[in-house]
Structure 1
Amino acid sequence: MHKKKAIAIFIIIAVVINLFGCTQKSEPISKTEYMLGTIATVTLFDSDNENILDKVFQRINEIEQRMSVNIEESDISKLNQNAGKEAVEVHEDVYYVLEMAKKYAQISNGAYEPTIGPLVDLWAIGTEDEKIPEDKEIKIALERIGFNNLQLLGNNKAFLKKEGMKVDLGGIAKGYAADEVNRILTENGVKRAIIDLGGNVYVKGLKEDGSKWRVGIQNPFEVRGNHIGIITLSNKAVVTSGDYERYFEEEGIRYHHILDRNTGYPARNEVAGVSVITDNSMVADALSTALFVLGVDKGLELVESMENVDVIYITKDYKVYISSGIKDNFKLSDEQFTLVKSQEER
């Protein structure tokens, strides 16, 4: 039995600046820290005020301290510890993110599932304890999962109805943090910036020459930095989920970290990677997980029913599917891949 450990890929979308001739009159300033379980980098292109960057990372730290399942005193940990017992009052930030998490769980019919925690713990992918669980273990975990049993009672009070339930905001908290970073930058007069929270990218404003930013979409079959195409954007979030980010292999089968609540196993479909493009990083974060689980057909159908949301799917047979809203903004650059612009063209 052969088991291969994957190297975690934190930055899954490369913002292509130098390659495409973005010339700046002044030197940008940047700060990088390991936060929210990933590498977070914020770069300002029209300000040399490092105090702004300090404010940004203080805010990210606040969010992590309140929402991380790995911090025993976080609001989310307290909510989980009281599952099936009593309601817990959480910070208004946490309550808002729980509301949004439940909203997108409903929209995606559970493809994005904020109470996936028992299953995440069981598989433990990306840790020293990762393993293929036994069927009986998966069955027990699935009985403890269900966003309808996450009750939001008002006055910032939340309750998990079943003992053993566990909220995990790993699929949405980084997006919320990116939105908060963007808010702080705007309030401090920053008009041009790139926010990258472990591949959760937001491109703010325009480049100094007035053109849009060019963002490279990661090739899921190659090492980090190899892109399959470029999308041009301004004031947009791009969030990617892929089966290459965190995984292990056993007997030739890859077990990745994007879990399907319907089966209890990592989602198995034709998708290798999915990138969501929209105005709001938190929305893009939740939808990137949901759309990966849903697959190409159902995912495109959902996206086309929503306003200001677009998607780029990369499948295991080297095809790229894009939603209608970005047909003029995306350019395929890798000849190994075939671009399919609509379901009818498949």
Structure 2
Amino acid sequence: MHRRSFIAAALGSASVLGDTAQARAPRTRLHTGAALAFGTTVAVTVRHEDERVARRAIDAALAAVGRIQRLMSIYDPGSEVFRLNRDGVLGAPAPELLAVLRHARDLSQLTNGAFDITVQPLWEACRQAFGQGRPPSAAERERARALVGWRQVEASPERVQVRKRGMRITLNGLAQGYAADLALRALRQHGVAHALLDTGEFASSGAAQDRPWALGVPDPRAPGRLAASFALDGRSVATSGDYEAAFTRDFVHHHIFDPATGSSPADLASVTVLAPTALEADGLSTAFMVMGARCAHSLAARLGGVDVLTIDKRGQAWRSPGFPEPL
């Protein structure tokens, strides 16, 4: 399942937003780096006065992203997730994989199962059926849904296993966010205080010259147009949308599945989440797509540091009270 949060970085496009003191601060150069991971281009932009320091930091950040890709890809035969899906059991899992699996379990509990890493059989059933020009039959969907259940995944430092034969997991709703968090940590360890990371999810630190980092949220029904743009406030950002990987042109069938029904959720076209970490933002954006606008906003209001912008199938947008004001 390829998942991409098509938020466009709006660097330099916003009017000056920094305060007077920031505007008078010495200007430093922007340095960029990129690599392929998670089926997309991962980009790192940092602001630092020393190019050598900036380059070492960017290399370390991209290396952190690459490690998570190698551990958690569902397509790479050498990845731990691939081996778990193939064999049903994985010995001595990497600490990073365990950390993401623990977060996945916590998020599944928090959302009453709306978030579920075991939905991969549903995606595979849809890919196969729509590849033949038809939707999956009720029987095909039900067979796939019988293999879904987050409680059937056991994880410990000794091993990870799935209890049902034929179960498959996907960490595409978490791995990109986790990679962004680790990449940001690597940048800070190299002395970089100002950075924007795009792994498909966004993490940031500091500011871009005399203004904050700014992002645009695409209109889910109008390619090339923005539904919102805002300045980052230090939190991480993730967007999920029915347009990102749709099986049908009407967006009824797409890459996000409601584990309870086996079908794609029908309420929302797009969800953008701001959260303290990119891992949290990544998982919540998927869960909120499944939960629908009302439940998503209700849960976001109970979570510290979390805000959400939902856009439904009719184009109705709903911002939580702490969501940044539009530029």
Does the TM-score normalized on the shorter chain lie above 0.5? yes
What code does the residue aligned with 2:261 have?
T
Q: CA deviation at 1:87?
A: 5.5
Aligned residues: 315
| Structure 2 unaligned blocks of 5 or more | 17-22
Looking at structure 2, the residues matched to 202 and 253 of structure 1 have their Cα atoms a distance apart, in angstroms, of 28
Out of 301, 306, 320, the position equivalent to 2:303 is 306
Q: Contact (CA 8 Å) 2:180, 2:197: kept in 1 or not? A: yes
Partners of 1:109 and 1:121 lie apart in 2 by: 23
Q: Report the residue type matching 1:239 in the other structure.
A: A
Residue 338 of structure 1: aligned partner: none
Q: Is the 8 A contact 1:82 1:88 kept in 2?
A: no
Question: For residue 179 of structure 2, what is the aligned residue in structure 1?
Answer: 177
Superimposed CA distance per residue, residues 146-176 of structure 1 (whole angstroms, 9 cap, x where no aligned partner): 0111112x32421211111111101000000
Whole-Å separation in 1 of the counterparts to 2:141 and 2:215: 39
1:87-126 map, 5 Å = 88-124=91-127
Corresponding position of 1:69: 74
C-alpha deviations, 1:123-145, integer Å up to 9, x for none? 128x9678521211111111111
Work out the percentage of aligned pairs sharing the same amino acid: 27
Contact 2:74 2:82 in 1 (8 A): yes
**Code of the aligned partner of 2:325:** F
Q: Deviations over 1:32-74 (max 9, x none)?
A: 2221122211111225231222222222111111111101121
Looking at secondary structure, tell me which structure has more strand per residue: 1
For 1:344, the equivalent position in structure 2 comes to none
- Matched position secondary structure for 2:60: helix
1:324 partner SS: coil
Q: Which residue of structure 2 aligns with residue 186 of structure 1?
A: 188
Q: TM-score, normalised by structure 2?
A: 0.89
Q: 1:130 to 1:17 in 2, by over 3 A?
A: farther
Q: Would you say the 8 A contact 1:214–1:233 is kept in 2?
A: yes
The residue number in structure 2 matching 1:27 is: 29
TM value normalised by structure 1: 0.84
Q: What secondary structure does 2:29 align onto?
A: coil
RMSD over equivalenced CA pairs, Å:
2.3
SS in 2 for 1:265: coil
The DSSP-based 3-state class of the residue aligned with 1:325 is coil
The reply on whether 1:18 has 2:12 as its aligned counterpart is: yes
Which residue type is aligned with residue 204 of structure 1? S
Q: Which residue of 2 aligns with 1:213?
A: 213
Distance 1:129 1:231, change over 3 A: farther
The code of the aligned residue for 1:218 comes to P
The match for 2:241 is 242
Tell me by how many angstroms 1:9 deviates.
9.0
The verdict on how the C-alpha distance between 1:74 and 1:9 changes in structure 2, with shifts beyond 3 A counting, is closer
Superposition map of 1:252-291 within 5 A: 254-269=252-267, 271-291=268-288
1:92 to 1:156, Cα distance in 2 relative to 1, 3 A: farther
